[in-house]
């Protein structure tokens, strides 16, 4: 008996990074997995590698019509929907003075609105399926101040608030649908590699700027995507059936240390 036997799961942003690790572990635990992403090449490759219980669907989380179509199709073909991992996200660094409104809107559209659409259409499908678990991939950016990522922090804060509202709504109506948020930090994925490259380029352009660790809490160790995926599996499984509206930090304690949290290697 595997921990996710019989579960039908959609994982957004499942072509890379944390979503890919979730997809791999979900399959290992017996789930049927729909990888929903815009990176078709990577997504199709992973789905093929994972075998008959995995499939890839091109899905831009900003498109509400596509959400309706995807969930309908999954329910028709697989007989229900039990798990949604709202994992797709983007980061474009920028402080309140630097971030463009265009970038702010883009980040909000992917993370906040994409999550809203996903939850809006997953809740009725899960209710009909008799059981459901929504896992919203937030960040420690929404539980502590991080000055250089205003749009990202705002989007994750919106997701955190949505999670509580959905959890309360589902609990009140005794739907057997749960909604929880995860708050990771500094896990080595393509997203974090891109941020490192951006900061390295900034350092080169502006060597006089103080990017030293004097202003930062030194963090030598980056986490592995599986450090998050194990908790995603737990929240997706019936083992966590009494956990609803929780906000779980997975950051090796970084967010309880005062200061600016940036891995030392950055």
Q: Given candidates 15, 129, 133, 144, which one binds ligand NAD under the rule CB under 6 A? A: 15
- Closer to ligand NAD by CB, 118 or 132: give it: 118
User: How far from 225 is each of 22, 24, 31, 185, CA to CA, in Å?
Assistant: 8, 11, 19, 11
Q: Examine residue 18 and tell whether it contacts ligand NAD (CB under 6 A).
A: yes
Could you list the beta-strand ranges (E) of the chain.
8-12, 32-37, 54-58, 83-86, 132-137, 177-184, 216-217, 247-250, 260-261
Query: What does the alpha-carbon distance between residue 42 and residue 14 come to, in Å, rounded to a whole number?
Result: 9
Rounded Cα distance between 96 and 196, Å, is 20
Among 28, 75, 90, 246, binds ligand NAD (CB under 6 A): 90
Find the binder of ligand NAD among 13, 93, 118, 263 (CB under 6 A). 13
- Give the interface segment with ligand NAD, choosing from 26-34, 164-172, 178-186, 235-243 (CB under 6 A): 178-186
Q: From the CB of 175, what's the least distance to ligand NAD, in Å?
A: 25
Decide if 169 is catalytic. Answer: no
Three-class secondary structure of residue 180 per DSSP: strand
List residues bridging with 223 in a β-sheet: 187
Contact 149, 97 (CB under 8 A): no
Residue among 2, 3, 30, 38 that touches ligand NAD (CB under 6 A): 38
Extract the tokens encoding 13.
């942003």
Show contacts with ligand NAD in window 117-156 (CB under 6 A). 137, 139
Q: Does 12 bind ligand NAD (CB under 6 A)?
A: yes
Q: Which residue ranges make up the site for ligand NAD (CB under 6 A)?
A: 12-13, 15-19, 37-39, 59-62, 87-90, 110, 137, 139, 184-187, 189-192
Task: Provide the annotated active-site residues.
Answer: 152
């Amino acid at each position: 008996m595997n921990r996710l036997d019989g579960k039908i799961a959609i994982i957004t942003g499942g072509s890379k990074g944390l979503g890919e690790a979730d997809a791999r572990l979900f399959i290992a635990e017996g789930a049927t997995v729909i990888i929903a992403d815009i990176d078709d090449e990577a997504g199709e490759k992973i789905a093929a590698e994972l075998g008959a219980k995995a499939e890839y669907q091109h899905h831009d989380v900003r498109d509400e019509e596509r959400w309706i179509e995807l969930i309908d199709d999954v329910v028709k073909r697989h007989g229900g929907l039990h798990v949604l991992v709202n994992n797709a996200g983007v980061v474009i660094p920028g402080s309140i003075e630097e971030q463009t409104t265009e970038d702010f809107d883009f980040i909000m559209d992917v993370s906040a609105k994409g999550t809203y659409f996903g939850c809006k259409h997953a809740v009725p499908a899960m209710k009909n399926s008799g059981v459901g678990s929504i896992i919203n991939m937030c960040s420690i950016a929404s539980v502590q101040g991080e000055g250089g990522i205003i749009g990202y922090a705002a989007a994750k804060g919106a997701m955190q608030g949505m999670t509580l509202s959905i959890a309360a709504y589902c609990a009140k109506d005794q739907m057997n649908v749960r909604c929880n948020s995860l708050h990771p930090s500094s896990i080595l994925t393509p997203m974090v590699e891109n941020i490192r490259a951006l900061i390295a380029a900034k350092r080169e352009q502006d060597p006089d700027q103080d990017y030293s660790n004097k202003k930062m809490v030194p963090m030598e160790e980056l986490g592995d995507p599986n450090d998050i995926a194990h908790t995603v599996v737990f929240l997706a499984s019936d083992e966590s059936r009494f956990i609803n509206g929780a906000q779980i930090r997975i950051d090796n304690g970084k967010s309880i240390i005062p200061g600016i949290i940036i891995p030392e290697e950055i």
